[in-house]
Amino acid sequence: MKPRRPKAITSDRSDSEADETSRLAPAVAGACTFLAGVWLILSPFVLDHEYTGGGFDGHWNDVLVGIALIAIGSAPLVEPRAASWWFSVPPILGLWLLVAPFVLEYNDGMPAPGITTSDIAVGVFLLLIWYVIPTSRVSHSRGQ
């Protein structure tokens, strides 16, 4: 006869796995945000897009949003508890990146398909990362 494992051990194990997942969630979201920021800063040089638009051009928009994303992405990696209030900013910046090509008129004058595609892709990426990873559960469990 095989000895049976008590059910309490099994439930404790699943609870500990859930705790580990909730501890990793802000770090994963922060790392993805950090990498998106690095891409936005490098994209004007990698994609070699010109300064376009009638007003504030896409080059500087990408650099400034990229710097903000690097700072926001670093916060959960450095101190997850203190960075919980940053969790609402990346989706807002993601939404901004979705509309920025049209609001800032990147394609006014010379077409800028590279920067437009890059900004929309990074915007969708940020929205997916910050809504798929359960950050609300993480911030709730940190408060306990």
Higher pLDDT residue, 114 or 18?
A: 114
Q: What pLDDT does 144 receive?
A: 44
Helix, strand, coil in percent for the chain, rounding step 5: 75, 0, 25
pTM for this entry: 0.74
The three-class DSSP label of residue 131 is helix
Give the mean model confidence (pLDDT) for residues 114-119.
87
Banded pLDDT at 141 (limits 50, 70, 90): very low
Phi, psi of 41 (to 5 degrees): -70, -40
| Percent of all residues in the chain with a pLDDT value above 70, rounded to a whole number | 65
- The span from the CA of 89 to the CA of 33, in Å, is 11
Listed range (46-50, 52-56, 61-65, 118-122) with the worst mean pLDDT: 52-56
**Position 55 confidence tier, pLDDT thresholds 50, 70, 90:** low
Provide CB contacts within 8 A for 82, sequence distance 6+.
75
- pLDDT tens-digit series, residues 56-87: 677 888 999 999 999 988 887 777 676 667 77
